[in-house]
Chain A
Amino acid sequence: MATNSTRRRNALWRIGSLLPASLLLVALSIYPVFNLVGLSLSDVEWIDGRAHSEFIGFANFDQLFRHETVYWAGVRNTIIFAICAVTAQMIFGFSMALAARRASGVTRAVLTAVFLLPIVMPPIVIGAMWRLLLGRDFGAVNTLLGYVGIGPIDFLGNPDIALASVILVDIWHWTPFVFLLMLTGLESLDQEVFEAAKFDVRSPWQELRYVTIPLMVPTILITLGLRLVLSFKVFDEVYLLTGGGPGTSTEVINFSIYRTFFAQDRLGVGSAMSLLTLVAVAVLIVVVNLWIRKRRSKSQEATS
């Protein structure tokens, strides 16, 4: 009967339309996790371009926890990097959004266009660019500093300030993103609240403290959580700027994984690193998500 065939076709469509996305996610994101488990418990060797693995238990993890000091330096640096960079981005982005929110149409359009640039350009180009700018002997930054009498600083070569330089580049890269999110957030607030508040607050500072910030809490939390988790992805810029050096001063987790896996061909340990990182960040994601959700419902209760 014709009617049954329509039903069957629709049932097929319902399954079929979800299939490509599901298959792709299963094959290339869920299976690889299990694959990593297998690899991390094995001694892996390349024979004729294929990986051959032999089960060796937890030896790779033993190695990772006891001897891979570079990875642990990377963990430390990544955490410092994430906290410092994100804090600065939030402060700069939020204050600039506060400043620019009453900008007129043209100003806004131009500002938005400029601020979009770092977000949409390839990170590797940002790396290349800042490598040229921060170069010790010929970089533009040192040239500029020279004019005011500050002697050449080896931004990328001095182990004491290399990480700070990398953080600086990341702040340059992502502050505009925070700015745009905050600006959108500020503008989607009910403007009448601010008009009403004019009668109650005595200074701009009070307005900020008692009106703006409480209303922005949801946006701030989401942006903060998002940036925090995403900053664990850092790799491209570091690759070009410092390659993790000098020494381990700018080593980050992703760079350790890359080096172990691809440069040193130590697949077993590299897999163990990947797996450990993956699980740790996944836990972080879940925790941050729950935390945001809790804080958000709290602030909604408070405002409603």
Chain B
Amino acid sequence: MAQLTLEKVRKAYGDAVVIPEIDLDIRSGEFVCLVGPSGSGKSTLLRMIAGLEGITRGTVRVDGEDMTDVDPSDRDMGMVFQSYALYPHMTVRDNMSFALRMRKEDPKLIEERVAEAVEMLDLKGLEDRKPAALSGGQRQRVAMGRCIVRKPKLFLFDEPLSNLDAKLRTATRHQIRHLHDRLGATSIFVTHDQVEAMTMADRIALLNFGEIMQIGTPQELYLQPQNRFTAGFLGSPEMNFFEGTVSVGEGGFVLNGTASLFLPASAGRLAALREVVGTGRKVEIGVRPEHFDLAAEAGADTMSLPVAGLEWLGHEAFVFGHVDGREIGVRVATDASGASDLPKPGSPVQLRVVEDSWHMFDATSGDNLVVKSGA
């Protein structure tokens, strides 16, 4: 268990700046996910923490101790690679005990630790196999076992689930989180998959172009995204965005832009945002698919959406259509009777935004004006 601090960490390859400057605090015992689109610098950041990649500027501290210039072999961190990187010439047991043997630990202790990890990861009977004779899932567990036996200060994961099939991925997700809790470890988990991040993390750090867009609990990021990027990245189907200017209306705001949309608001939110929108600034309104209600008939507070497609998933369904060339997705509830009363492709549905469940982003800076104003 350890606490990690990054201070003004920067990474550049020559002129190419991958990470301009990052400050990050990870508490002892925390499970933090680094998420972001591909190429956003997640792996680079993780490898800088591990010491595998040089740091252009800044400081890495573990429990307050400066680790910036410490060799990776002395950092006491364990890492699970995307490709697992198991030593092909060693058996499962030798793979797992390698680090302890390199540290010249007592053979008895090594044996105990390996047995413990084998037990924990359900690898009994495979100890004498070489990696080539293991399935993908088994290899993945050996890779974790290799970290576990060491009881390192920090667990680092670089997309360790991306080579598994969907079903196994879900199971392993739970297993990793469970192991983390059981070992009381501190873990940093890199992934580009928002579901992994949402389900596993205590806190999520969302990266884009090497900058942290937002860091917080999954709930914070989902419910109170600080900016348009965060709002758009999390959630599937994606949040719907509408551009335009906003004026104050009866019991809410009215968006005038690509589409005309009524945004119901409570008195509190109305008051908080009245000044912000008064200047006639350009904004983007964000509404998640689940924050539309289907209205029985058209009205001043509804928007008409011609249904182009329908995705029925059992416990829910999504309706898709286009408004002014922009795709809109709406979640609709399904009842036990099945699909009979769902909207039909070809006919329009009337949408009403749920009160206070929408976001307003500054069109240029992308800041969430709702969160900012404290509403």
A residues adjacent to B (C-beta < 8 A): 2-3, 6-7, 10
Contacts and interface: CB of A to CB of B under 8 A. Distances in A.
Interface in B26-73: 69-71, 73
B74 interface: yes
A10 B71 CA distance: 9
Interface string B69-110: 111011000000000000000000000000000000000000
A6 B70 CA distance: 9
Contacts of A2: 74
A208 B74 CA distance: 60
Most chain-B Cβ atoms within 10 A of its Cβ — which of A2, A3, A7?
A: A3
Given A3-B70, A6-B71, A7-B70, 6 more contacts: A3-B69, A3-B71, A3-B74, A7-B69, A7-B71, A10-B71
A10 B70 CA distance: 12
Contacts of A7: 69-71
Nearest to A8: B71
Nearest to B67: A3
Contacts of B69: 3, 7
Contacts of A10: 71
Contacts, number: 12
Interface string B250-284: 00000000000000000000000000000000000
7 contacts: A2-B74, A3-B69, A3-B70, A6-B71, A6-B73, A6-B74, A7-B69
Contacts of A6: 71, 73-74
A185 to B, nearest CB: 30
Nearest to B73: A6
A7 B73 CA distance: 10
A2 B74 CA distance: 8
A10 B74 CA distance: 12
Nearest to B65: A3
B53 to A, nearest CB: 15
A235 B164 CA distance: 59
A273 to B, nearest CB: 47
A7 B71 CA distance: 6
A204 B73 CA distance: 60
Top 6 closest pairs, chain A to chain B, by CB:
A6-B71, A3-B74, A3-B70, A7-B71, A6-B74, A6-B73
Nearest to B69: A7
A2 B69 CA distance: 12
Nearest to B71: A6
A2 B65 CA distance: 14
Interface in B3-31: none
